[in-house]
Structure 1
Amino acid sequence: MALVLASGSKIRAELLKNAGLEIEIDPSDVDERAVEAPLIEAGFLPEDLATVLAEAKANDVSSRRKGDLVIGADQILAYEGKRYTKPDDMEAARRQLLSFSGKTHELLSAVVLSYNGEAIWRHVSTARLTMRDLTPAFVGNYLGNVGEVALSSVGAYQLEGPGIQLFEKIDGDYFTILGLPLMPLFEELRRQGVMAT
């Protein structure tokens, strides 16, 4: 039985490999926006959206990887009742960061294990992040320094890089912020006999 990551996320793969797991990478073909559109319209909570999307990805890959254990993950940024996706361009990233200035937003990271096309375990973790008061000049300099990498995450930042300078306070698990709650996942993988106890 292979352990498969249903994601092309370099950071998720790196987190698992750095922890000593042997994984195969097989990104899901799920159209996330198509899956979530009716759920948003129906008023699903952000944590439910993240879990449904993670499950859709895990089940998609698991349905073609019979006998393998598949990890699906998704992360949603929630702020003032709205859900954010990765910014489309640098101007969108700039506007988003300035709107978060001096305020708190949430990152919800869901992880799902699927076997033979069906989810067998689900978990969602939440982190609360408070940004410092940011000036337009600081945000412009930050985006100029990090470049297009700002467009690769829902918040337009990576805490493992210069993005940490944007924040005043962080409440929550570091791995949840990176998009994969490792501790609960490892506990379940041990229960499944995939990791040593």
Structure 2
Amino acid sequence: MKSFILASGSPRRKELLEQAHYSFSIQTSAVEEIVKEGLSPAEVVQQLAKQKAEDVWSKAKDAVVLGSDTVVAFEDKILGKPENEEEAKAMLQMLSGHTHSVYTGVAICSQEGVMTFYEKTDVEFYSLSEEDIRMYIRSGEPFDKAGSYGIQGFGAFLVKRIVGDYFAVVGLPLARTMRELKKIGITPNM
């Protein structure tokens, strides 16, 4: 059986693969993330996922390596992780009462080659009061998440509706990923 490696330190991606009953190891990529200018959010997440997966795969060519990356985009602007409370507040105010898009790219490297794909999910936020934003920032959740929120935690109260794959917003489009892994012989341990 082929070994399966997750090229990510994300606890959310780890939890999703565990919930799906995969056996895998984790090796985080040390690659410096470089994005070409002028790419769409969909192209950015696929490129970053591919860089991470290829970096780990270059050291374990007998394995199947999964890399992933997620960005939040609002009005064609990519929102990264906030560096401080002010940035988190500004992002949450920007997203308040609006719909934005979450793009998650996936790259799978194996001896069969490299394949990439992405999922786009539209997320609509409720209109947030100053107190809503302050309370959420006090939770500490915004600081390691693109767009300053996580849908799977306390941040769920920000979200009015989604159109698309919930798991892609969490960090890995699980159903599509499982189908692609199955094609190259990586299946859940059942």
Q: Could you tell me the TM-score, scaled by structure 1's length?
A: 0.91
Deviating above 6 A after TM superposition, structure 1's stretches of 4 or more consecutive aligned residues are none
| TM-aligned CA deviation for residue 23 of structure 1 | 0.6
- Write the distance in 1 (CA, Å) between the matches of 2:79 and 2:65: 26
Does the residue aligned with 1:155 lie in a helix, a strand or coil? helix
| TM-aligned CA deviation for residue 119 of structure 1 | 4.9
**Aligned residue pair count:** 188
Structure 2 residue 190 is the aligned partner of structure 1 residue 195: no
Q: Deviations over 1:15-38 (max 9, x none)?
A: 101211001000001122xx11xx
Q: Deviations over 1:93-133 (max 9, x none)?
A: 111101111111100001110125x8522110000011111
1:123 to 99, 117, 128: 117
Paired residue type of 1:106: S
Q: Deviations over 1:13-69 (max 9, x none)?
A: 11101211001000001122xx11xx1x3x111100110000000000000112000
What pairs up with 1:20-169 in 2 under 5 angstroms? 20-32=21-33, 35-36=34-35, 39=36, 41=37, 43-115=38-110, 119-144=113-138, 146-147=139-140, 149-169=141-161
Unaligned runs of 5+ in 1: none
Answer 1 or 2: higher relative contact order, Cα 8 Å, separation at least 6.
2
Q: Could you tell me the TM-score, scaled by structure 2's length?
A: 0.94
Unaligned runs of 5+ in 2: none
| Percent sequence identity over aligned pairs | 33
- Write the distance in 2 (CA, Å) between the matches of 1:81 and 1:123: 19
Paired residue type of 2:117: H
Aligned-pair Cα RMSD in Å: 1.5
